Amino acid sequence: MKLDELKPLEALLTADFRQIEPRLQALDKHLILRTYLDGYTLGDIDTKIWLALRGNRAAVSFIKRGSLANLARWFNYIEENHPEIQAEVKAKDAAAKAKVAAASKAGASYALALQNADQGVVTRFLPEPSGYLHIGHAKAALLSDYFAHQAYQGQLRLRLDDTNPSKEKQEYQDAIIEDLALMGIKPDTVTYTSDYFDYLYDMCVRMIKEGHAYADDTDQETMRDQRWKGVASARRDRSIEENLRIFTEEMKNGTEEGLKNCIRAKLSVDNPNKALRDPVIYRCNIETPHHRTGTKWKMYPMYDFACPVVDSHEGVTHALRSTEYTDRNPQYQWFIDTLKLRQVYMWDFARMNFIRTFLSKRKLAKLVDTGKVWGWDDPRMPTIRGVRRRGMTIPALRDFILKQGPSRNVVTMDWTNFWASNKKEIDPIAPRHTAITKKDAVKVMVKGADAPAEPIKQEKPKHPKNKEVGTKQVTFANELIMDQADAKSFKDGEEITIMGWGNGFVRNIDSSAEVIPTFEIDLNLAGDVKSTEKKVTWLASKGQTLVPAELWDFDYLITKDVLQEEDNMEDFLNPVTETMEEAWCDEASATLKKDDIIQLERRGYYRVDKGLNDWKEGEEKKLVLFCIPTGKTGSK
């Protein structure tokens, strides 16, 4: 190998094993009669290539096995005879460990050192504005943000991949930017793939001129069948002149001939990895104006082409992608190598999968379009806005996702841990309130020497353990309402605890009745609350204005834990995914506003979807409360 062939190797030896194996073999051949790669002493070339290999675990493991004897000899010789290089290795290892220690301590393992990170780290988040961000996107965004801004003092670029005007809207684009801001993610730069349409056009022209791409008018079904069977297209050997004419004249202008064609990269006809079988890199679209460029362009680049080209052009150093793209990594590298672009390093991480949930934007959009859900922010949807509307807090969301880490292990999780992490966040600060369902309200008369003749109000803490949450007024009266389920559990003469007030004896109750309309309580405030078996919630029905409320709860959208590719989504849709009960809440709840999170005593945690002041004039005013899962059932 010549010197100009050795110099670029440092950047190329940090990729995955499949990509670097041919380069390892070339190094082995080069070292047959050499102690050093360049010259007769340890120089800059040997040091950089050795450090690059040392930082690639897959490469080290392969070299240590000794399959390439010359390369193994050289690698071990440098390691054993040059202690000065070990100091640099130890310094790099120590710095990497220090930077990721906090995250690893929190649960996940962040013990991966990004390649050549000492030369700068620029990550990117690359969503398509064809829907709202879901929790899978949140992981990609948060990991890219973590490695750019926390593990390394780098930069995060947000690039909206707006290459398909048929699916994309300004609404989605704006929502993505808003949701990232809500999650505390602040990209250093915001760009759009459409900013580079001219550059991508030039790159495609170059590929055609160099014989790496061709125009193909094979119909879609036949093309799909040929790619599957590994059969070459009849158009694969078109002349460069004909390919250029179709691309720059017919497709660019959206003519009848142009619309029949697409441009395909000439990678392989029958590679076992089907992602490498001549992928389409440009196609026409004249039906929908682009939401940013209008009708200027009649053809648009595909993701597989635009992604590596623009990554390299923009200065991205490390592209973090979910494992669903692993088969496309060699394709990504092919574009980089073929166009001789600046190297971009890739790291695959496992996407988050949850039971009874799908994250396909196409399927989620279908639920929205067919009215199965209220919209992209429906509390049953796995979108960022959906889980937030359900009651997930941003700190808990960030914490949960970052604890999953950048592992490649693909698992399907229950929702239990997701919501349990949220409970830890909200329990210490959620004000306590009381609700009694209207249909189950039982009238209770309070008797005895301790019973108030007239209603009285007392200031009570909103949270039993956190004074900083504040206080509320609680009304005590001789007429109450309690839940029917509680009343049916009482026995005449039984002593119970009325929560937040004291004890009392149940009187004049017919426990055998199917429905208990009323009973009495003989108040006994001197009673020991620790001695009673039953502690019950209640509301004074005199002396306060009870607040009407709707208590909503939600279930999974689908009935099957994991939908397979061949499954028809409609066959597994859950017929009932929402329930609502009308209730009365305490007077203090009248001040609650949208997005407040509370705990209804003995019922659970709720997010306020609408407060009394969130209604238009003339509309019936009531609280709308959404039940927040706590992780006990894993409900979504």
Q: Coil, strand or helix: which one is 334?
A: helix
How much is the pLDDT for 636? 47
With 0-12 / 13-18 / 19 or more C-beta atoms within 10 angstroms meaning exposed / middle / buried, residue 364 is: buried
How much is the pLDDT for 111? 59
Instruction: Report, as an integer, the average pLDDT of 159-183.
Output: 93
Q: Which two tokens stand for residue 212?
A: 């790496």
Q: Where are the alpha helices (DSSP H) in 283-354?
A: 303-314, 329-338
Eight-class DSSP state of 621? P
Q: Where are the alpha helices (DSSP H) in 490-567?
A: none
Q: Identify the CA nearest to 401 among candidates 358, 347, 352.
A: 352
Answer whether 71's CB lies under 8 Å from 27's CB.
yes
Q: What is the pLDDT of residues 384-405, one digit of tens each?
A: 999 999 999 999 998 898 888 8
Q: What is the pLDDT of residues 99-148, one digit of tens each?
A: 555 554 555 666 566 788 777 899 999 999 999 999 989 999 999 999 99
How much is the pLDDT for 635? 46
| β-strands 623-628, 547-554 pairing | parallel
Q: What is the pLDDT of residues 202-243, one digit of tens each?
A: 999 999 999 999 999 999 999 999 999 999 999 999 999 999
Upper half-sphere CA count for residue 373 (Cβ side, 13 Å): 23
Measure the CA dihedral 579/587/629/466, to 10°. 180
How much is the pLDDT for 622? 96
Q: Coil, strand or helix: which one is 314?
A: helix
How much is the pLDDT for 511? 84
Instruction: Report, as an integer, the average pLDDT of 612-616.
Output: 93
State yes or no: pLDDT of 443 exceeds 90.
yes
How much is the pLDDT for 224? 96
Q: Identify the CA nearest to 267 among candidates 336, 367, 364.
A: 336
Eight-class DSSP state of 34? -
Q: What is the pLDDT of residues 283-297, one digit of tens each?
A: 999 999 999 999 999
> Which is more confidently placed, 411 or 350?
350
Q: What is the pLDDT of residues 519-534, one digit of tens each?
A: 999 999 999 999 999 9
Q: What is the pLDDT of residues 241-290, one digit of tens each?
A: 999 999 999 999 999 999 999 999 999 999 999 999 999 999 999 999 99
pLDDT class for 8, splitting at 50, 70, 90? confident
Eight-class DSSP state of 477? -
Give the whole-angstrom CA distance, residue 150 versus residue 154: 8
How much is the pLDDT for 108? 62
State yes or no: pLDDT of 634 exceeds 60.
no
Instruction: Report, as an integer, the average pLDDT of 476-480.
Output: 97
How much is the pLDDT for 218? 97
32: left (phi over 0), alpha (psi -120 to 50) or beta: alpha
pTM of the model: 0.78
Answer whether 298's CB lies under 8 Å from 258's CB.
yes
**Contacts of 518 by beta carbon, 8 Å cutoff, 6+ apart:** 442, 443, 444, 445
Q: Coil, strand or helix: which one is 213?
A: strand
Give the whole-angstrom CA distance, residue 458 versus residue 464: 15
Instruction: Report, as an integer, the average pLDDT of 163-168.
Output: 93
State yes or no: pLDDT of 334 exceeds 60.
yes
How much is the pLDDT for 2? 82
At residue 186, φ and ψ (nearest 5 deg) are: -120, 95
State yes or no: pLDDT of 172 exceeds 70.
yes
Q: Coil, strand or helix: which one is 17?
A: helix
If you search the block for the tokens 């429906």, which residue do you land on?
A: 378
Please, what is the average pLDDT of the chain? 91
Instruction: Report, as an integer, the average pLDDT of 41-58.
Output: 83
